[in-house]
Every structure is written in structure tokens, then in C-alpha cells.
Amino acid sequence: MSAPEIVTRAEQPYVAIRGHVSMAEIGAFVGRTGEVFGWLGARGLAPAGPPFLKYNVIDMARQLEIETGVPVAAPVDSGGDGELVAGVLPAGRYATVTHVGHPSELIEVTKALLDWAAGQGLTWDMSPDADGERWGSRLEILLTDPREEPDMSKWVTQLAFRLAD
């Protein structure tokens, strides 16, 4: 795991599939990223960066609202196309860390980033609600293409969690 740092990110349009899953179902949900790439390809739209998971609402014991998304160069209209949604990742300051290793290790990496931020006195763009923690932008950016590197222990993932203004 790299040392955590704070970076400023510009806003980023994206297309995604949104779903409600349990912790045990995240792996299968990530498999739907190919559907997003297929939707883009069918419309002649190129990805503008690596795919990501966006955690909108987190309740580890019950359910998560997450999106498996792909950045695009300009905003698009999903046209109410099934489960596809179009959105914009907000600009702002993000606490980030990069991890090389199996995705199962990301729970520990996430805890380390959250603990680091607490030690720095940082506040997240997050608020509690009836469904859990609602995040403004909490991302796992998948920097390794599994088709090129099948060994999951070599995968590179960047966590990027938006800080409160």
C-alpha cells in the first residue's frame, strides 16, 4: 500500500450500473462492468479512464448501494436504458491510496485510509441516513485490466474518497 495523500480531482462524467448488494455479492456485481463497456461500445463512446466502483450508501451488515462505472469524456444521456445511469463524479479534494494485491485485502486498506484521515483530522463528504453512510464520492478505481493480468495478487487498485469542503 502506498502512503495516503490528498489530491484534487476534476469532475468526471461517467456511465454506470447501480445496484443494491450485500458484501458477499460485490464480486458478482463487479462482473457487470462488461455490460457498461458494451453499452458504450454500441454507441461509439470510448472510456475516458479505468473502471471504478462507487460506493453511494454503505451499511456493511445489511446492504450497499454501489455503482460499477466507466468514465467518459463528456456527459451522456443513458436514456433510461435499463439499470444504466449517467452521472458526474464531483470535483474536489480526495484522500487516496494505491494498493497492489488481491481485492479481498481492500477492506484492510480501506480501514487504514479511514484511520489515517481520522489521525489527520480530515472530514469525509459523508452523512448518516436511515440506510447507512451516504457518501458524496467513495471510489475503488480498478487500474489493472483482468484480461491482461489474471493474477489477482498483482492487481492495482486506487481508493479515492472525497473530503468535505
CATH for 50? 3.20.80.10
What is the secondary structure of 76-142 as a DSSP string? ---TT-TTEEEEEEPPEEEEEEEEES-GGGHHHHHHHHHHHHHHHT--BSEEEETTEEEES-EEEEE
CA distance 163 to 147: 33
> Can you give the pLDDT at residue 78?
76
Please say whether the beta carbons of 69 and 16 come within 8 A: yes
Q: Where is pLDDT greater, at 51 or 23?
A: 51
End-to-end CA distance of the chain: give it in Å, rounded. Answer: 26
C-alpha distances (whole Å) from 149 to each of 25, 70, 142, 146, 155 are 23, 19, 12, 5, 7
> Can you give the pLDDT at residue 131?
85
Q: Assign 91 a pLDDT band (cuts: 50, 70, 90).
A: very high
Question: What is the pTM (predicted TM-score) of this model?
Answer: 0.93
Amino acid letter, residue 91? A
* Number of folded domains that form the chain: 1
Over 70: is that where the pLDDT of 81 sits?
Answer: no
Structural domain containing residue 108: 5-162
Which tens digit of pLDDT belongs to each residue from 112-147? Answer: 999 999 999 999 999 998 888 999 999 999 999 888
